[in-house]
């Protein structure tokens, strides 16, 4: 009898556990019918027909943004959202801090793959364009741009920044948090070495000559430090663009294995190996600002986005100039754009465009630039009173924007992360002596060609 009761009890426990386990996976099954749009992503207009009933209710937008620079970014973004909501009573924006650029892209791609609803607007790398188009994840903004004034609207954006938004005769994004590598130099050290501290080197030869005068033989000060870790291709592009060339010509065509690129890599490798003005090996991106503000390096190449932080920490006069190649100044652009995601309801689309317009407006861009150190994406931002006052106080802030005239597009192709790694690996292999410049570039070109051969344009 006792035994029997035990048996029944055990069975009951098992059943309860089983029920629990089944209910654990049940929500997926029950919620599936609740969201028919997800099963029919092609029918983007379908939700719009059901939407009119809800026109009086506020449209709730979801906005993903990554944080890529130091500073109180969340507070600043929340401030913009309150301003936007106050001006547009029918729209509510839920801003989601989504990690770094990579995390944000991953989140969105996995959401789309899993059949979920992506955010309405997201800040993603300007170079993610082709991956996003390939994944059918974003919407072209042509109609909205046309309605906003077409060319008269876009002409105010810096052309170098807008270059990353065009593909197949569509405009896919608007530049939001954009940067450019610049050359930071220690003006006090320049003076002490008998150099003109009012301007940085105008080309590669001048930079090497300056660096030789600045380098202390005991190893306590290096003339220059250029990072080759994390995204090595980026600063390397400065050398190439400064040599009057670039590393790609189309979304499916890279030009790694050319004499100009080889010369640029030779210039990079010469700094530690031949001229001994830079520490050998791969230098970490995160260490460069520390080395600079602590007087270990007299010059560094780093993102314009580090300006605020460097000025805050340096106890000497900081000069800002442009990165250089053999023929003069040259730099790639960098940073993130605002994208509208595919598969969002029509009423969301209109609201999302309003939000994108607000975030890229002249005043928002001026304020964003003042508070973070990003380059404002619109030329008129530099004519606002707020920006003029800021530049009067921090003249270095004007340098990066003026440098855009020397800028070329950042390496952006299909399968971007992989292509960027091939070039980055080649740069690191040459710098660490693991292979010769010619071999490194040749192998990078072959690997990239193999991947890109799958894309027709």
Task: Please tell me the distance from the alpha carbon of residue 266 to that of residue 269, in angstroms, as a whole number.
Answer: 5
Closest CA to 401 of 369, 372, 429: 369
Query: At closest approach, how far in Å is the CB of 270 from another protein?
Result: 17
Count Cβ atoms within 10 A of the Cβ of residue 178 and give its class: 0-12 exposed, 13-18 middle, 19 or more buried. Answer: buried
Determine if 354 is a binding residue for another protein (CB under 8 A).
no
Q: How many residues bind another protein (CB under 8 A)?
A: 45
Determine if 455 is a binding residue for another protein (CB under 8 A).
yes
Determine if 196 is a binding residue for another protein (CB under 8 A).
no
The residue range among 7-15, 46-54, 299-307, 368-376 that interacts with another protein, by the rule CB under 8 A, is 7-15
Q: Which residue has the tokens 């909501």?
A: 85
The residue range among 92-100, 133-141, 310-318, 334-342 that interacts with another protein, by the rule CB under 8 A, is 133-141
Q: Given the complex with another protein, which of 51 and 135 has the nearer CB atom?
A: 135
Determine if 342 is a binding residue for another protein (CB under 8 A).
no
The residue range among 62-70, 324-332, 347-355, 431-439 that interacts with another protein, by the rule CB under 8 A, is 431-439
Can you tell me which of 9, 11, 26, 57 binds another protein, judged by CB under 8 A? 11
Determine if 70 is a binding residue for another protein (CB under 8 A).
no
Q: Given the complex with another protein, which of 116 and 280 has the nearer CB atom?
A: 280
The residue range among 101-109, 185-193, 208-216, 367-375 that interacts with another protein, by the rule CB under 8 A, is 101-109
Determine if 425 is a binding residue for another protein (CB under 8 A).
yes
Q: Which residue has the tokens 């994108």?
A: 356
Can you tell me which of 150, 159, 219, 395 binds another protein, judged by CB under 8 A? 219
Determine if 415 is a binding residue for another protein (CB under 8 A).
yes
The residue range among 67-75, 300-308, 352-360, 426-434 that interacts with another protein, by the rule CB under 8 A, is 426-434
Q: Given the complex with another protein, which of 294 and 317 has the nearer CB atom?
A: 294
Query: At closest approach, how far in Å is the CB of 9 from another protein?
Result: 11
* Planar angle of CA 72, 391, 67, nearest 5 degrees: 25
Determine if 135 is a binding residue for another protein (CB under 8 A).
yes
Determine if 23 is a binding residue for another protein (CB under 8 A).
no
430-455 burial code (b ≥16 CB/10 A, e <16): bbeeebebeebbbbbbebbeebbeee
Query: At closest approach, how far in Å is the CB of 113 from another protein?
Result: 8
Query: At closest approach, how far in Å is the CB of 191 from another protein?
Result: 24
Determine if 414 is a binding residue for another protein (CB under 8 A).
yes
Can you tell me which of 62, 243, 381, 428 binds another protein, judged by CB under 8 A? 428
Query: At closest approach, how far in Å is the CB of 415 from another protein?
Result: 5
Structure tokens at 333: 């652009």
Q: Given the complex with another protein, which of 365 and 447 has the nearer CB atom?
A: 447
Residues 261-290 binding another protein (CB under 8 A) are: 279-284, 286-287
Sites of contact with another protein (CB under 8 A): 4, 7, 10-11, 14, 17-18, 21, 25, 102, 106, 109, 131, 134-136, 219, 228-230, 232, 279-284, 286-287, 294, 296, 414-415, 417-418, 424-425, 428-429, 431-432, 434, 451, 454-455
């Amino acid at each position: 009898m006792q035994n029997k009761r035990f048996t029944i009890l055990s069975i009951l426990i098992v059943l309860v556990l089983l029920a629990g386990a089944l209910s654990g996976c049940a929500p997926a099954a029950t919620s599936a019918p609740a969201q028919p749009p997800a099963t029919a992503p092609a029918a983007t207009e379908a939700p719009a027909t059901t939407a009119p009933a809800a026109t009086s209710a506020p449209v709730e937008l979801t906005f993903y943004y990554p944080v890529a620079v130091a500073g109180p970014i969340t507070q600043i973004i929340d401030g913009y959202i309150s301003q936007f909501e106050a001006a547009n009573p029918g729209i509510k924006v839920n801003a989601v801090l989504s990690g770094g650029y990579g995390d944000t892209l991953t989140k969105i791609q996995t959401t789309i793959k899993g059949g979920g609803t992506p955010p309405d607007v997201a800040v993603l790398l300007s170079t993610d364009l082709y991956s996003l188009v390939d994944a059918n994840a974003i919407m072209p903004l042509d109609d909205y741009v046309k309605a906003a004034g077409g060319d008269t609207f876009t002409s105010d954006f810096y052309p170098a920044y807008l270059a990353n938004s065009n593909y197949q005769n569509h405009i896919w994004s608007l530049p939001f948090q954009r940067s450019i590598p610049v050359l930071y130099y220690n003006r006090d050290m320049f003076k002490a070495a008998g150099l003109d501290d009012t301007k940085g080197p105008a080309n590669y030869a001048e930079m090497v000559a300056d660096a030789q005068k600045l380098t202390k033989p005991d190893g306590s000060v290096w003339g220059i430090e250029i990072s080759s870790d994390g995204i090595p291709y980026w600063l390397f592009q400065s050398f190439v663009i400064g040599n009057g060339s670039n590393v790609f010509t189309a979304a499916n065509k890279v030009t790694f294995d050319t004499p100009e690129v080889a010369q640029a890599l030779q210039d990079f490798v010469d700094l530690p190996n031949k001229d001994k003005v830079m520490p050998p090996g791969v230098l970490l991106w995160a260490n460069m600002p520390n080395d600079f503000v602590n007087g270990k390096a007299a010059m560094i190449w780093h993102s314009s986005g580090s300006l605020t932080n460097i000025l805050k920490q340096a106890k000497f006069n900081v000069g800002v100039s442009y990165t250089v190649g053999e023929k003069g100044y040259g730099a790639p652009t960098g940073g993130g754009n605002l994208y509208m995601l595919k598969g969002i309801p029509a009423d969301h689309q209109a609201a999302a465009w309003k939000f994108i317009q607000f975030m890229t407006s002249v005043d928002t861009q001026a304020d964003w630039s003042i508070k973070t150190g990003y380059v404002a994406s619109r030329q008129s931002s530099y004519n606002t009173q707020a920006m003029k006052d800021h530049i009067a106080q921090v003249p270095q802030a004007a340098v990066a924007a003026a440098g855009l005239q020397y800028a070329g597009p950042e390496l952006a192709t299909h399968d971007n992360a992989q292509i960027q790694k091939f070039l980055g690996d080649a740069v690191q292999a040459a710098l660490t002596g693991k292979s010769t410049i010619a071999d490194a570039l040749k192998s990078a070109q072959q690997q990239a060609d193999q991947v890109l051969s799958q894309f027709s344009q």
